[in-house]
Chain A
Amino acid sequence: MHEVSIALGMIEELMRIGRENNAKKITHVKLRIGRMSGIVTDSLIFAFDAVKLEHPLLSSAVISIEEVPLVYECNKCNKKFEIENFTFPSCPFCGSFGLKIISGEEQHIEKVEVEV
């Protein structure tokens, strides 16, 4: 359950950001989570919602999550493509197995909205 630790770290960071910006309240937190990040978004939100109540600055904050698809780039023909199943991917354009992941592993806080 790394989501609990991640939520706790995120809350600490949000409190710091809130104070730095003299926020009265943090109302909205927008995350970008890749399909292959390994973060279970429901667990993350569950942990966040449980702990946020202890902090007035955060108690009404709502999380929204943009899920980022898994995108590969072919090392041979340089084309990019989205893929659902990461086991044995090959390039749909040229068949090559030499691929690299260019997105889908994100674990980011993109922005927060605050009341000042």
Chain B
Amino acid sequence: MCDTCGCSHEHNHKETKTIDLNQSLLKSNEEAAASNRKHFDEEGIFAINLISSPGSGKTTLLEKTIDALKEKINIGVLEGDIETELDAERIRKKGVPAVQITTGGACHLDSLLVHKAFHSLEHQLNGRKLDILFIENVGNLVCPSFFDLGEHLRVVLISVPEGHDKPVKYPKAIRTSQVLVISKTDLLPHFDFDMEKIKKDALSLNPSLTIFEVSAKTGDGMQEWIEFFKKHLLSHE
């Protein structure tokens, strides 16, 4: 039976309607990201999203950055991984509050996960205010670049052993970041790594990218990286 007119035969009363949306496919994440960013702004927190392939040196760079900054600056860390508390434990050993986000399989963080984790970080702080929030994303150079977390700065790491061709292979990570850190530069003598080429490719994809060459192991280039943060914090205040 036809639902619309109650007659006893099947026929077409279908009314169709076109709804123009022209909105982002990632709208729900983007809205949650905007609300995270607003919250960080209200609290005066400068938030940084660190992305890279697994093992490029994100946690090591964070440890060294914490060593250099923690006397003067209140730092908090959210650690994203598929499994384990290991990275959050590494950060807590530095005396800095950290919350581990385990995605249980998902290859990236999203703004809801960050929202929840940030609230549990706030519980650890007992009212103390943060200046910087570092968010270490899940190791993956593709998926995290789609998801705004509400950060103020996105930093992508590419380590020397990964090779200089990564920017052109992962253009979205370069396009959506403001900073590129070329990490593990102490290993340059052991690899055929073309430093000029990687910089040229990265800048051709994203002309406003700031690039650092850093070895967390030897400390080479750390000074410039740290100064950059101090400057950013001042301008953010």
The reply to whether B16 and A112 form a contact with Cβ atoms under 8 Å apart is no
The reply to whether A38 and B172 form a contact with Cβ atoms under 8 Å apart is yes
Q: How far is the CA of A99 from the CA of B29 in the complex (A)?
A: 30
The reply to whether B25 and A110 form a contact with Cβ atoms under 8 Å apart is no
| A interface residue numbers (CB < 8 A to B) | 1-2, 5-6, 9-10, 12-13, 17, 21, 23, 27, 31, 36-39, 86-89, 97-98, 100-101, 105, 107-116
B interface, over-half SS: mixed
The reply to whether B17 and A111 form a contact with Cβ atoms under 8 Å apart is no
> What string of 1s and 0s marks CB contacts (under 8 Å) between B146-161 and chain A?
1100000000000000
> Which residue of the partner chain B has the closest CB to A7?
B25
Contacts A/B (CB < 8 Å), 11 sampled: A5-B110, A9-B25, A13-B28, A23-B17, A36-B172, A89-B204, A107-B24, A108-B21, A113-B16, A113-B18, A114-B16
Instruction: Tell me whether B26 is interfacial, beta carbon within 8 Å.
Output: yes
Q: Which residues on the A side are within 8 Å of B145 (C-beta)?
A: 38
> Which residue of the partner chain B has the closest CB to A26?
B19
Q: How far is the CA of A2 from the CA of B16 in the complex (A)?
A: 32
A interface, over-half SS: mixed
Interface residues on B, range: 20 to 34
Closest chain A CB from B45 CB (angstroms) = 26
The reply to whether B18 and A112 form a contact with Cβ atoms under 8 Å apart is yes
> Which residue of the partner chain A has the closest CB to B13?
A115
Q: Which residues on the B side are within 8 Å of A21 (C-beta)?
A: 17, 19
Q: How far is the CA of A111 from the CA of B14 in the complex (A)?
A: 19
Additional A-B contact list (10), CB under 8 Å, known A108-B21, A114-B16: A5-B108, A5-B147, A36-B171, A39-B25, A86-B171, A87-B168, A107-B25, A109-B21, A111-B22, A113-B16
